[in-house]
Structure 1
Amino acid sequence: MAVVAIIGGTGLTQLEGLSIREAVSLETPYGAPSADILRGEFGGREVLFLARHGHPHRIPPHQVNYRANLWALKQAGAEAIIAVNAVGGIHAAMGTGHFCVPHQLIDYTWGREHTFYEGELDHVTHVDFTHPYAENLRAKLIGALQAEGYPYSGHGVYACSQGPRLETVAEIARMERDGADIVGMTGMPEAVLARELALPYACLALVVNPAAGKSTGVITMAEIEQALADGMGKVKAVLQRVLAQA
C-alpha cells in the first residue's frame, strides 16, 4: 500500500485522531520544512502529516518553504500526497462549507521558489503539467465525499494568488473570466513540486468564504474561522474514508 502524506493547511495544523509514533525532524538541501513530519496511524493505516503553515500556524503562504516541505515528505517515505486547502468561492456553486476536488489550476503567484530544476544543472528539465492533479487520488476523494453525503464539486479550477492579503473585487472578476472556480494561496508551487518528485498529488479544498465581490459584506476572519471549525470534522471524515481504501 502506498504511504500517503497529508499536508494540512489553515485550520488543520493538527490531525485529530492521528496516533503518532514519531516526529521526524529533517533538514533538506532547501532548508527546514514548516514543521516536524508526524508519522503515525490514521484511518487504520500508516500516514505522514505535515502542517503547511507550521504548528502553531505562523508561516504566511508566500513564505512557506514548499521545496523543503515536499523534499522532506519524499525523504520520509511519502508515495502520494493529499493536500487540504482552505479557499474562497468564486463560482456560484462554491458556497461556504462546499468542498471542491479541483482538476485544474492557474498560478498567479510570483517570486516563490517553484522548482527543483535550477542552479548548476547537467541539462534543462521540463515536466509535463497538463493535468496537475492525480486522477486516481481525485477519484478516491470524490468517492469519499459522496459516501459521506457532503456537498461537493468533483471538478474545479483552483486559482492560486500570492497572499497574504485577500484579493480585490477586480482580481476575482479577472480570475472568474479566466475560468477559476475557487481561489487560495497555497496550491502552487506545491502541486508542481510534487510532480517534479513523481509524487501523485490531489487537493481537498474547503470553501471558507465567498471571494471578494461575491457577497454583500466584507470578508472577516471570524467568518473564516467559523467555517473552518464547522468543516474540519468533515475533512477528517473524508480523509479517514480515503485512507481506508487507499
Structure 2
Amino acid sequence: MEKEKELGGEETESIQIKIGIIGESGLDTPAVLENRMEYAVCTPFGKPSDTIIEGDIENVPCCLLSRHGRIHDIMPSNVNYRANIWAMRKMGCTHILVTHTVSSLREHIQPGDIVVPHDIIDHTTGRISTFYDGALGSPFGVCHLPMYPPFSEHTRNHLISAAKELDLPTHVKGTVLTIEGPRYSTNAENNIYRKWGADILNMTLCPEAVLAKEAGILYASLSLVTNKECWCVGQPIAATQEIIYTYKKQVDKIQKVLMKAISNIAKEDWAEEVLKAKILVCSNFANSNR
C-alpha cells in the first residue's frame, strides 16, 4: 500500500477501493464488467441472495449481487440482508452502492426521476437489523449504532454529481420509508406516511442500510421512481408488471450513473473515511468485558 502524508506530517496508508453493488442494475454484462469471476460466499448468517460476481468496472474492482436473486424469486422480507452485507464485507468492499425502485409520495417526485435519499424511516416489522443479536456465530456483544446520517454523505454526493453530469432529473434529498411488503400500501397508510415526512416508499432499503453501517462500509442508494402511490388520485394505480416495465425502460440511465460514480469514487483517497466508519462501530460497541 502507498503511504500519504497528512497535514500534521503523519503518514497514513491509502487503501484499495472495492465497490459492492446490490440491486438489479444489469451491470454484470460483458460489455460493462471485465475479468468476471463468481464466488459462493459463506457467512455466519447463511447464504447471500446469490453468488457474488466480482470483476472490474471502469478499471475499478467491484462485487455485484442481485438482492432478490437473479431470477427474482426472493420476496423482500425473505432477503437475507445480513448474509448479503456480510458477504460484501468478506469480499473486502469499502463501499456499497445500491439500486432501489421506489414509489412517490410527493407531487414533485415523478416516475422516471432519480432520488438519492438522505434519510430513512424503518417501518418493517419482521427483519433482524443487527449482526449483534447474541445468536450462535454472531459477533459477541451489542452495538448501539448511531444512525445519523444513515448514508455516507461523501458517497451520496458522488451519485448526485454523476446523475447531474448526465443531465438526469435528480432529487438530491428524500426520506425513504421502508414497508414490510410484499403488498402495497393503502390510501390511509399513504396519508400517514406523508404526515411522517416520507417522500418515497420502498420494501428493501431497511435493514440493508443499517447493516452496512454496522459493518463499517460506506453505503449510498440510487433510487429510481417507478410510480406514484395510491394517494395520488389523478393517476391510475400501477400494476406490478407496469412497475417492472418502467424500471427496465430506465435501467440504462441507472447503469450510466453507477459507472460514472464508480470511476469518480476511485480517483479519491478514502482511507480516513473508511477508518472513521469502522471506528464508529467500535466506539459504540458494548460487552461485559469493557
TM beyond 0.5: yes
* Cα displacement (A) at 1:117: 1.2
Q: Which amino acid aligns with 1:22?
A: M
Higher Cα radius of gyration: 2
2: distance between equivalents of 1:15 and 1:37? 11
Note if 1:236 corresponds to 2:255.
yes
1: distance between equivalents of 2:244 and 2:133? 38
Note if 1:97 corresponds to 2:112.
yes
* Cα displacement (A) at 1:20: 4.6
Q: Which amino acid aligns with 2:218?
A: P
2: distance between equivalents of 1:122 and 1:194? 18
Note if 1:167 corresponds to 2:185.
yes
1:221 corresponds to: 240
1:1-246 matches, cutoff 5 A:
1-9=16-24, 12=25, 15-16=28-29, 17-119=32-134, 123-214=141-232, 215-246=234-265
> Percent identity over the alignment?
34
Q: Which amino acid aligns with 1:40?
A: G
Unpaired segments of 5 or more residues in structure 2? 1-15, 266-290
* Cα displacement (A) at 1:46: 1.4
Unpaired segments of 5 or more residues in structure 1? none
SS at 1:32's partner residue?
Answer: coil
Q: Which amino acid aligns with 1:6?
A: I
SS at 1:131's partner residue?
Answer: coil
* Cα displacement (A) at 1:56: 1.1
2: distance between equivalents of 1:201 and 1:84? 11
Q: Deviations over 1:177-225 (max 9, x none)?
A: 0001110000000000001110010000000111122243222123212
* Cα displacement (A) at 1:13: 5.8
1:238 and 1:196, CA in 2 relative to 1: closer, same or farther beyond 3 A?
Answer: same
Moved more, 12-21 or 45-54: 12-21
1:111 and 1:101, CA in 2 relative to 1: closer, same or farther beyond 3 A?
Answer: same
2:26–2:255 contact (8 Å) kept in structure 1? no
SS at 1:132's partner residue?
Answer: coil
RMSD value over aligned CA atoms?
1.4
Q: TM-score, normalised by structure 2?
A: 0.81
2: distance between equivalents of 1:55 and 1:229? 15
1: distance between equivalents of 2:194 and 2:224? 18
1:89–1:210 contact (8 Å) kept in structure 2? yes
2: distance between equivalents of 1:160 and 1:202? 15
* Cα displacement (A) at 1:2: 1.4
2: distance between equivalents of 1:229 and 1:32? 27
Q: Deviations over 1:216-245 (max 9, x none)?
A: 322212321221122100000001100111
* Cα displacement (A) at 1:122: 5.0
1:33–1:72 contact (8 Å) kept in structure 2? yes
2: distance between equivalents of 1:123 and 1:51? 30
Q: Which amino acid aligns with 1:229?
A: K
Q: TM-score, normalised by structure 1?
A: 0.95
* Cα displacement (A) at 1:14: 5.5
1:13–1:57 contact (8 Å) kept in structure 2? no
Runs of 4+ in 1 over 4 A off after TM superposition: none
Higher relative contact order by CA 8 Å / sep ≥ 6: 1 or 2? 1
